A and B are shown apart, each in its own frame.
Chain A
Amino acid sequence: MGAIYRREMQCYFYTPAAYVFMGVFLALSSVFFGFGNLGARSSDLMALLDRMSYIWMLLSPVLTMRLIAGEKQQRTDQLLYASPCSLSAQVAGKYFAACTVLLITVLATVMYPLVVAVYGKLYVGETLVGYMGLILQGCAFLALDLFISCFTRNQMTAAVAGVGANLLVWLADAMAQALSGSFAARALNFISLYRRFAPFARGQLSLSNALYDVLFIFIMLFLSVRVLDARRWSEA
Chain B
Amino acid sequence: MCYNTFRYSDGRQTAFDGGMRMIRLDGVSKRYGTHRALQDVSFTVPKGQILGLLGQNGAGKTTAMNIMTGCLAPSQGTAVIGGYDVMRSPREAKRLIGYLPETAPLYDEMTVRAYLRFACELKEVRKQAIAGHVEAVGEKTGLTDVLDRKIGNLSRGYRQRVGFAQALCGSPEVIILDEPTTGLDPRQSAEMRALVKSLAGQHTVLFSSHILSEVQALCDRVIILHHSRVICDSAMQALRCGERRLRAVIACGEGSLLPRLRQLPSVSRVEVERGGREGITQVVMTVEEGQNAERELFTLLSGLQTPLLRLAPVEDSLEDVFLRATMDENEE
Residues of A within 8 A of B (CB): 2-3, 6-7, 10-11, 14-15, 74-86, 232-236
Contacts and interface: CB of A to CB of B under 8 A. Distances in A.
Given A83-B122, A84-B91, A84-B123, A78 B101 contact: yes
A86 B91 contact: yes
Contacts of B101: 75, 78-79, 82
Given A3-B118, A11-B109, A84-B123, A79 B69 contact: no
B105 A85 contact: no
Contact of B105 (A11, A15, A78, A235): A78
Which 10 residue pairs are nearest across A and B when measured between Cβ atoms?
A: A3-B121, A79-B105, A83-B122, A82-B69, A76-B105, A82-B99, A81-B71, A84-B94, A14-B109, A232-B73
B114 A3 contact: no
Contact of A79 (B95, B108, B119): B119
Contacts of B166: 79
B291 to A, nearest CB: 43
Given A75-B103, A234-B32, A82 B118 contact: no
Nearest to A87: B90
17 contacts: A3-B121, A3-B122, A14-B110, A74-B105, A78-B66, A78-B69, A78-B71, A78-B101, A81-B69, A81-B70, A81-B71, A82-B94, A84-B92, A84-B95, A84-B122, A233-B72, A233-B75
Nearest to B74: A233
A85 B37 contact: no
Nearest to B103: A75
Interface residues of B, number: 32
A232 B109 contact: no
A218 B234 CA distance: 51
Interface of A is mostly: helix
Contacts of A10: 109-110, 114
Contacts of A75: 101, 103, 105
A86 B89 CA distance: 11
Contacts of A235: 72
Nearest to B91: A84
A19 B94 CA distance: 36
Nearest to B166: A79
B97 interface: yes
Contacts of A236: 32, 37
A81 B66 CA distance: 10
B106 interface: yes
A82 B66 CA distance: 8
Contacts of B114: 10
Interface string B53-94: 000000000000010011111010000000000000011101
B122 to A, nearest CB: 4
A6 B130 CA distance: 15
A83 B110 contact: no
Nearest to B121: A3
A14 B114 CA distance: 12
Contacts of A15: 109
Contacts of B298: none
Contacts of B124: 84
Interface centre among B91, B107, B109 (most CB of A within 10 A): B107
B159 to A, nearest CB: 12
Nearest to B93: A84
Interface in B245-278: none
Contacts of B123: 83-84
Contact of A2 (B92, B97, B105, B121): B121
A83 B120 CA distance: 10
A73 B158 CA distance: 21
Given A6-B121, A75-B103, A232-B70, 10 more contacts: A3-B121, A74-B105, A76-B105, A78-B99, A81-B69, A82-B69, A84-B91, A84-B123, A84-B124, A86-B90
A1 to B, nearest CB: 10
Nearest to B102: A75
